Chains A and B, each alone.
Chain A
Amino acid sequence: MTTGALIFMIMAWTFVLGLTSWSFRKLMKTDPSNEPLPPPGTSL
């Protein structure tokens, strides 16, 4: 594999798997009903 291809693949996989694991971790942590909002200004 060329370095360029490897970099693009790693970046794509990291973004997708990172977003998936972050969102599911966050979903598992929050109570499905009436979760309080994080403080205003808190970013993703």
Chain B
Amino acid sequence: MAEAAQREQWGSRIGLILAMAGNAVGLGNFLRFPRQAVENGGGTFMIPYFVALVLVGIPLMWIEWGVGRHGGLRGHGSTPGMFESLWKHPLAKYLGVLGLFMPIIVLIYYCYIESWTLAWTWFSLTGQTQGLDQAGMQAFFGSYVNLQNGTVHGFWTPFVFFFVTIAVNFFVVSKGLTAGIERLAKIGMPILFIFAAILVIRVLTLDPQPELVNGVATGRMVGPMDGLNFMYNPDWSRITDPSVWLAATGQIFFTLSVGMGSLQAYASYLKKTDDIALSGIATAATNETAEVVLGGSLAIPAIVTFFGVAGAMTIASQGSFDLGFIAMPLVFNQLPGGAIMTTLAGVMWFGLLFFAGITSSVAMATPALSFIEENWGWTRKRSAWTLAAIAVAIGILHIVYNTRGFLDEWDYWAGTFGLVVLALVETVLFVWVLGPTRMWEELHDGAAIRIPKAYKFIITFITPTFLIIMMAWWFVQDALPTLLMADETPERQTVRWASRGLMALIFVLQLFLIRAAWNRRRAAGKETA
């Protein structure tokens, strides 16, 4: 407990909420959510979405804040120590590897995607995407992400933006909790919301345009209200489809950044008297505002206005990146107001995506930094820049092999399936091993509200049940086909195996680091839990 006194603390409650919300608000709020909604029943998608928020999202938010604060008060800023403080068993610290592995794996490829948003902010500012038609925009994007197709960009362009992104991220985290992460959240989050609000107003006040289907005018006019209609029109036939419920639960998972290890790391800097009950809800609510109100009113209404409903369906089915990096710049090219408006809209769109990304990625770096600092006594700066060097070295592989499935492997095993595994493990430890009564007391220490009693039952039984069903479903539906790599070319299979091998190596290395850390603790006579 003596170590806990030396740990940094959040400078203000609003700083904490903004940093936590910044962690949750990411690229998925603006790119993934609208696609999920239109592909899973429109308005009816919102029913399982909010059910999942209430039964899984908010409970997991409390659990992660609780696990983090419980561990932080005992001097642990990452899950190996946090889990051991919950379960006095030699295995507990090794289970905690999940909360080190997942954020570091996701951080590396997420920074690469984040670097695209920085690049496109620059391209928008310098007018490089202005005047391009659909084929031109696709070539522009393809040239950037596929190094072998360097028709537009120089070979080094993606590397430069990736290095700058990594440098900015690790500069922020090297400054520490209040001077780095909290300050970034206080600046970045308001900018994100202001940019998003301006764009939403602009999009929703667009004049209807003649609808084109395959380049032929239908004689109908379509506008942003048709886009909102496309987003929210209920398809009742989908409400009983289990895949829709799982898609909604998955979206809640991704959007709140639960199961990652980063929320726990942030919560480890809380005091025993700090509220987590109300702050957890405020964080989730802020994220939901960014997602439903702002994210849901931007891309789809804008794209429907200029491409029609059929065009929007095609774009949505092509993926989130096509939506954000090809379709949206095309929309900005057609905005009234000429080049100035196109530039402004592009800078605001990609700028808000960059802030959404960086406020999440700095959170992902935090568990590993805490682990290094606490166990090896390194300074924040030294830990941060060492981790930056590792991220650059591995990130280069993502840039080079991105289009051959290297990134997809990491995204699936760490960024999708792994999140549910960590969430289930921490739920079992915090609720069942610690005990429902202790869990309930932990959540109410310093609480500004009393959580409704029904949540004790929900957290104890409903949330873990949801997680088990989701994990089993994903394992059968996605994990097995992904593992077996059906329909992949031999070249892509080789790259994917190499990608898996590197992930496995990092996982095993982290297990050894945990073992070494505990040996050091034992040698120094420190309490380990």
Q: How far is the CA of A12 from the CA of B291 in the complex (A)?
A: 11
Q: Decide: B285 and A20 in contact? CB cutoff 8 A.
A: yes
Q: Decide: B446 and A27 in contact? CB cutoff 8 A.
A: no
Q: Decide: A44 and B449 in contact? CB cutoff 8 A.
A: yes
Chain A residue with Cβ nearest B447? A37
Q: Decide: A27 and B278 in contact? CB cutoff 8 A.
A: yes
Is B385 an interface residue, CB under 8 A from the partner?
A: no
Q: Decide: A1 and B292 in contact? CB cutoff 8 A.
A: no
Main secondary structure of the interface of B (DSSP, over half): helix
Q: Decide: A13 and B293 in contact? CB cutoff 8 A.
A: yes
Report B377-394 CB contacts with A as 1/0, cut-off 8 Å.
Answer: 000000000000000000
Q: Decide: A8 and B43 in contact? CB cutoff 8 A.
A: yes
Which residues of chain A in 8-35 are interfacial with respect to chain B, using CB atoms and an 8 Å cutoff?
8-9, 11-13, 15-17, 19-20, 22-24, 26-27, 30, 32-35
Q: Which residues from A are CB-within-8-Å of B13? A: 27, 32
**Residue A16 contacts which of B12, B226, B285 (CB distance < 8 angstroms)?**
B285
Q: Which residues from B are CB-within-8-Å of A27? A: 13, 17, 278-279, 282, 448
**Shortest CB distance B59–A (Å):** 13
Select the stretch in B208-216, B229-237, B331-339, B506-514 that faces chain A.
B229-237
Q: How far is the CA of A30 from the CA of B61 in the complex (A)?
A: 21
Q: Decide: A12 and B292 in contact? CB cutoff 8 A.
A: yes
Q: Decide: B43 and A16 in contact? CB cutoff 8 A.
A: no
Q: How far is the CA of A4 from the CA of B329 in the complex (A)?
A: 31
Q: Which residues from A are CB-within-8-Å of B44? A: 8
**Residue B446 contacts which of A5, A15, A35, A44 (CB distance < 8 angstroms)?**
A35
Q: Decide: A9 and B43 in contact? CB cutoff 8 A.
A: yes
**Shortest CB distance A34–B (Å):** 5
Q: Which residues from A are CB-within-8-Å of B451? A: 44
Chain A residue with Cβ nearest B284? A19
Q: Decide: B288 and A19 in contact? CB cutoff 8 A.
A: yes
Q: How far is the CA of A17 from the CA of B234 in the complex (A)?
A: 21
Which residues of chain B in 268-309 are interfacial with respect to chain A, using CB atoms and an 8 Å cutoff?
273-275, 278-279, 281-282, 284-286, 288-289, 292-293, 296
- Chain B: interface size category: 35 or more
CB within 8 Å: A-B pair count: 102
Q: How far is the CA of A4 from the CA of B42 in the complex (A)?
A: 10
Q: How far is the CA of A8 from the CA of B42 in the complex (A)?
A: 9
Is B444 an interface residue, CB under 8 A from the partner?
A: yes
**Residue A4 contacts which of B233, B285, B292, B446 (CB distance < 8 angstroms)?**
B233
Q: Which residues from B are CB-within-8-Å of A19? A: 281, 284-285, 288
Q: Which residues from B are CB-within-8-Å of A33? A: 273
Q: How far is the CA of A44 from the CA of B46 in the complex (A)?
A: 22
Q: Decide: A44 and B452 in contact? CB cutoff 8 A.
A: yes
Q: Which residues from A are CB-within-8-Å of B288? A: 16, 19-20
Contacts A5-B42, A23-B285 hold; do A30 and B450 have CB atoms under 8 A apart?
no
Q: How far is the CA of A39 from the CA of B288 in the complex (A)?
A: 29
Q: Decide: A8 and B232 in contact? CB cutoff 8 A.
A: yes
Q: Decide: A23 and B450 in contact? CB cutoff 8 A.
A: no
Is B363 an interface residue, CB under 8 A from the partner?
A: no
Q: How far is the CA of A23 from the CA of B274 in the complex (A)?
A: 16
Q: Which residues from B are CB-within-8-Å of A22? A: 285
**Shortest CB distance B242–A (Å):** 21
Which residues of chain B in 57-72 are interfacial with respect to chain A, using CB atoms and an 8 Å cutoff?
none
Contacts A5-B43, A19-B288, A27-B13 hold; do A12 and B452 have CB atoms under 8 A apart?
no
Q: Decide: A16 and B449 in contact? CB cutoff 8 A.
A: no
Q: How far is the CA of A33 from the CA of B229 in the complex (A)?
A: 45
Q: Decide: A23 and B281 in contact? CB cutoff 8 A.
A: yes
Is B197 an interface residue, CB under 8 A from the partner?
A: no
Q: Decide: B232 and A30 in contact? CB cutoff 8 A.
A: no
Which residues of chain B in 325-363 are interfacial with respect to chain A, using CB atoms and an 8 Å cutoff?
none
Chain A residue with Cβ nearest B13? A32
Q: How far is the CA of A8 from the CA of B274 in the complex (A)?
A: 36
Q: Which residues from B are CB-within-8-Å of A17? A: 289, 293
Q: Decide: A5 and B449 in contact? CB cutoff 8 A.
A: no
Q: Which residues from B are CB-within-8-Å of A13? A: 292-293
Q: How far is the CA of A13 from the CA of B226 in the complex (A)?
A: 17
**Residue B278 contacts which of A9, A11, A12, A23 (CB distance < 8 angstroms)?**
A23
**Residue B450 contacts which of A2, A7, A8, A42 (CB distance < 8 angstroms)?**
A42
Q: Which residues from A are CB-within-8-Å of B225? A: 1
- 19 A-B residue pairings within 8 Å (CB atoms): A1-B228, A1-B232, A4-B233, A5-B42, A8-B46, A8-B234, A12-B50, A12-B292, A13-B292, A15-B50, A20-B285, A23-B285, A24-B282, A34-B446, A35-B275, A35-B446, A35-B447, A38-B450, A39-B450
Chain A residues close to B by CB (< 8 Å): 1-2, 4-9, 11-13, 15-17, 19-20, 22-24, 26-27, 30, 32-35, 37-44
- Report the 7 A-B pairs with minimum CB-CB distance, sorted nearest first: A8-B43, A23-B282, A5-B232, A20-B285, A19-B285, A5-B233, A9-B232
